[in-house]
Structure 1
Amino acid sequence: MNKLKEVLIENPVIAAIRNDEGLKRIVSSNANIVFILYGDILSVRDICSKLKEKGKLVFVHLDLIDGIRGDQSSVRFIKENVKADGIISTRSSNIKYANQINLFSIQRMFAIDSLSLKTGIKSIHDTNPTAVEVMPGVASKIINVLKKEIKVPIIAGGLITNKKDVIESLSAGAVAVSTTDSSLWNL
């Protein structure tokens, strides 16, 4: 069992923050894992630093940070300058490079139909991410299929708005859920 999977099992609710208000709420919450879904090349280091000071495990969604391109230099910047624990990305090249430089990698995939599911599974096998975040997270059937096809931890994200959604996603086989709903961060 990889290190990240163990941490996800112990901390199944991940705080996903989209703005400074979310940042203020997360620093005093019980959530130990945070997905940064906002910011720019100038602010992301400060955001990460505030979270790391509180002992949080921090992942930066590379595709959502203004001023950062989806290339190897950006991944290296996140590791060396921002000091995040890992990245999230939909781009296979980012996932592969993060793995090469010993940075946790979470591949985000959108499962909107059977073709995207099939393509996503192939991409996961090709890139070997540390974990996969499947969107939308309330898709129990998709989580069940992925669980049978891939061997990395699954994180359910998107549309997780209540305790029932958390329980259903975890019951379907996800090891954790990510949510911007701060009322769920202390479950």
Structure 2
Amino acid sequence: MKIKELLEENPVIAAVKDLKALEVALNSESEVIFVLFGDLLNIKEISEKIAEKNKIGIVHVDLIEGINNKEVAIKFLKKETSFKGIISTKSQVVKAAKNNGFIAIQRVFVFDTLSLNNAKKHLMDECDAIEVLPGTIPKVIKKLAMEASKPIVSGGLIDTKKEIITALNSGATCVSTTKKEIWNM
């Protein structure tokens, strides 16, 4: 399945920050799980739990303790885990992920015009999708969506159904949220 189809079919992505949230996500309707925690010792087990439930795990590699931002770390994740994708704020990590057969998501923070322009540059990069934070700024999502041929994931500060609808109506392909109460929408 292509990344755009995957994200369109799963408009609400469970983003998990600990094992307790992971257990809730594994039993939710969300088919895609963004993993925002872990370390070198437990990351394989985390990925296997997700795979056992036939869900797609995408790990934010910058947040995994004991794993650096070198290509060898990406190769380790490819060889030792069941993750299907990588999220990173670092372009070289996203490129390495793509080169190693992962879904590659570039995470960008937009807080002013300069960061918006930098986010637009990533639309030309080798990533499969862009995650924009905070996800509660419809104006920014609209601007990026107008120029994007790649899926836009709206993430960060998404707490309500209304915010999900606003993000999707602004051009986001899907949203990622740590708010467990809205994972089953």
- Category of TM-score, reference length = shorter chain: over 0.9
Q: 2:47·2:82 contact (CA, 8 Å) conserved in 1?
A: yes
* Secondary structure, counterpart of 1:68 in structure 2: coil
> Are positions 1:78 and 2:77 aligned together?
yes
Partner of 1:152: 150
Offset of residue 92 of structure 1: 0.3
Partner of 2:131: 133
Offset of residue 100 of structure 1: 1.4
Task: Measure, in 2, the Cα distance between the counterparts of 1:135 and 1:174.
Answer: 12
Partner of 1:37: 36
**Structure 2 letter corresponding to 1:30:** E
Task: Measure, in 1, the Cα distance between the counterparts of 2:46 and 2:143.
Answer: 35
Structure 2, gaps ≥5 residues long: none
* Secondary structure, counterpart of 2:75 in structure 1: helix
Q: 1:79·1:86 contact (CA, 8 Å) conserved in 2?
A: no
**Structure 1 letter corresponding to 2:41:** L
- Residue pairs, 1:77-116, within 5 angstroms: 77-116=76-115
* Secondary structure, counterpart of 2:116 in structure 1: helix
TM-score, reference length from structure 1: 0.96
* Alpha-carbon displacement from aligned partner over 1:65-92 (angstroms, at most 9, x marks no partner): 0000011011111111112101000000
**Structure 1 letter corresponding to 2:73:** S
* Secondary structure, counterpart of 1:34 in structure 2: strand
Once superposed, which parts of structure 1, at least 4 consecutive aligned residues long, lie more than 2 Å away? none
Offset of residue 121 of structure 1: 1.4
Aligned residues between the structures: 185
Task: Measure, in 2, the Cα distance between the counterparts of 1:76 and 1:14.
Answer: 25
Task: Measure, in 2, the Cα distance between the counterparts of 1:11 and 1:105.
Answer: 17
**Structure 2 letter corresponding to 1:107:** Q
* Secondary structure, counterpart of 1:75 in structure 2: helix
Task: Measure, in 2, the Cα distance between the counterparts of 1:171 and 1:120.
Answer: 20
Offset of residue 24 of structure 1: 1.4
Q: Which residue among 152, 159, 162 is the counterpart of 1:161?
A: 159
> Are positions 1:10 and 2:9 aligned together?
yes
* Secondary structure, counterpart of 1:97 in structure 2: helix
Structure 1, gaps ≥5 residues long: none
